[in-house]
Structure 1
Amino acid sequence: MTKFLTILAASLALAGCASMAPTYERPAAPVATQWPVPQGSATQAKAADLGWREFFTDARLQALIEQALANNRDLRVAVLNVQRAQAQYGVQQADRLPSVNAAAAQSATRSPGGSISRQYTATLGVSAWELDLFGRVKSLNDAALQQYLATDDARRSAQLSLVAEVAGAYLTLAADQEKLRLAEQTLLSRQDGLRLTQRLQAAGVASALDLRQAEIAAETAQTDLAGLTTQVAQDRNALALLVGQPLTPEQLPMAGTATAVTQTAELAAGLPSEVLLARPDVQQAERTLQAANANIGAARAAFFPRISLTASAGSASGELDGLFRSGSGLWTFMPQVSLPIFDAGRNQANLSIAQVDRDIALAQYEKAIQAAFRDVADALAARATLGQQIASQQRLVAQTQDALRLAEARFRQGLDDRLATLDAQRSLYAAEQGLISSRLAQQVNRVTLYKVLAGGQAGTQSSS
Structure 2
Amino acid sequence: MRNALPRVGAACLALMLAGCAVGPDYAGPPRLDMPAHWSAKSASRRQTGTLDRWWLRLRDPLLNRLIEQAVEANPDVAKAKAAVREARATIQQTSAGLFPSVSGTASATDNKASSGSASAVVDSAPYTLHQGSFDSSWELDLFGGTQRNIEAAVRGAQSAEEDLRDSLVTLIGDVAAYYVDARGYQARIALAQRTSVSQRDTEKLTRSKYDAGSGNAVDLAKATAQAASTEANVPTYQAALAADIHRLGILLGRPPDGVASSMARSAPVPASRMPLPTGLPADLLMSRPDVASAERKLAQATAKIGAAEADRYPAVSLTGSVGTSALRAGDLAKYSSVSWSVGPSVTVPVFDAGKRLATVRIAEAQRDQAFATFHSTLLTAFEDVENALVSLSQERVRATKLTEAAKNYREAAKLSRSLFETGSASFIDVLDAERSLYSAEDSLIQSKVSAAKDYIALAKALGGGWTDPVDVSTPIIIDTNTGPHSREALK
Instruction: Report how far residue 45 of structure 1 moved.
Output: 4.7
Note if contact 2:46-2:279 (Cα within 8 Å) is conserved in structure 1.
Answer: no
Counterpart Cα distance in 2 of 1:458 and 1:42: 25
Instruction: Report how far residue 437 of structure 1 moved.
Output: 1.2
Instruction: Report how far residue 52 of structure 1 moved.
Output: 4.8
Instruction: Report how far residue 154 of structure 1 moved.
Output: 0.7
The answer to whether 1:411 aligns with 2:420 is yes
Counterpart Cα distance in 1 of 2:341 and 2:199: 98
Secondary structure, in 3 states, of the residue corresponding to 2:373? helix
> Percent identity, aligned pairs only?
29
| Other-structure match for 2:297 | 288
Decide whether aligned partners of structure 1 residues 14 and 323 sit closer, same or farther in structure 2, where only a CA change above 3 A counts.
farther
Counterpart Cα distance in 1 of 2:295 and 2:468: 17
Instruction: Report how far residue 350 of structure 1 moved.
Output: 0.9
| Other-structure match for 1:59 | 61
Match of 1:258 among 249, 262, 269: 269
**Alignment TM-score, normalising by the size of structure 1:** 0.89
Decide whether aligned partners of structure 1 residues 44 and 459 sit closer, same or farther in structure 2, where only a CA change above 3 A counts.
farther
Instruction: Report how far residue 180 of structure 1 moved.
Output: 0.6
Instruction: Report how far residue 438 of structure 1 moved.
Output: 1.2
The answer to whether 1:133 aligns with 2:142 is yes
Which amino acid is the alignment partner of residue 365 of structure 2? V
Secondary structure, in 3 states, of the residue corresponding to 2:215? coil
| Other-structure match for 1:379 | 388
The answer to whether 1:427 aligns with 2:429 is no
Structure 1 range deviating more: 168-177 or 415-424: 415-424
Secondary structure, in 3 states, of the residue corresponding to 1:22? coil
Counterpart Cα distance in 1 of 2:142 and 2:398: 66
Output the aligned Cα RMSD. 2.6
Counterpart Cα distance in 2 of 1:377 and 1:43: 14
Decide whether aligned partners of structure 1 residues 88 and 394 sit closer, same or farther in structure 2, where only a CA change above 3 A counts.
same
Decide whether aligned partners of structure 1 residues 14 and 329 sit closer, same or farther in structure 2, where only a CA change above 3 A counts.
farther
| Other-structure match for 2:132 | 122
Instruction: Report how far residue 419 of structure 1 moved.
Output: 1.9
Which amino acid is the alignment partner of residue 263 of structure 2? L
The answer to whether 1:232 aligns with 2:241 is yes
Structure 1 segment 346-425 matched on structure 2, within 5 A: 346-425=355-434
Decide whether aligned partners of structure 1 residues 73 and 458 sit closer, same or farther in structure 2, where only a CA change above 3 A counts.
closer
Counterpart Cα distance in 2 of 1:249 and 1:300: 58
Match of 1:83 among 72, 82, 85: 85
Match of 1:31 among 26, 31, 34: 34
- C-alpha deviations, 1:291-324, integer Å up to 9, x for none? 1101100111121112233322254334321111
Structure 2 unmatched runs, 5+: 1-8, 115-122, 471-491
Decide whether aligned partners of structure 1 residues 131 and 459 sit closer, same or farther in structure 2, where only a CA change above 3 A counts.
farther
- C-alpha deviations, 1:196-234, integer Å up to 9, x for none? 212222222222211121121011012111211222222
| Other-structure match for 2:488 | none
Counterpart Cα distance in 2 of 1:418 and 1:95: 88
Structure 1 unmatched runs, 5+: 1-6
Secondary structure, in 3 states, of the residue corresponding to 1:455? coil
Structure 1 range deviating more: 336-345 or 170-179: 336-345
Note if contact 1:169-1:235 (Cα within 8 Å) is conserved in structure 2.
Answer: yes
Match of 2:341 among 328, 332, 336: 332
Note if contact 1:15-1:132 (Cα within 8 Å) is conserved in structure 2.
Answer: no
Structure 1 range deviating more: 410-419 or 391-400: 410-419
**Alignment TM-score, normalising by the size of structure 2:** 0.85
| Other-structure match for 2:6 | none
Secondary structure, in 3 states, of the residue corresponding to 1:101? strand
Which amino acid is the alignment partner of residue 262 of structure 2? Q
Counterpart Cα distance in 1 of 2:429 and 2:462: 49
Which amino acid is the alignment partner of residue 38 of structure 1? K
Secondary structure, in 3 states, of the residue corresponding to 1:46? coil
Note if contact 1:174-1:254 (Cα within 8 Å) is conserved in structure 2.
Answer: no
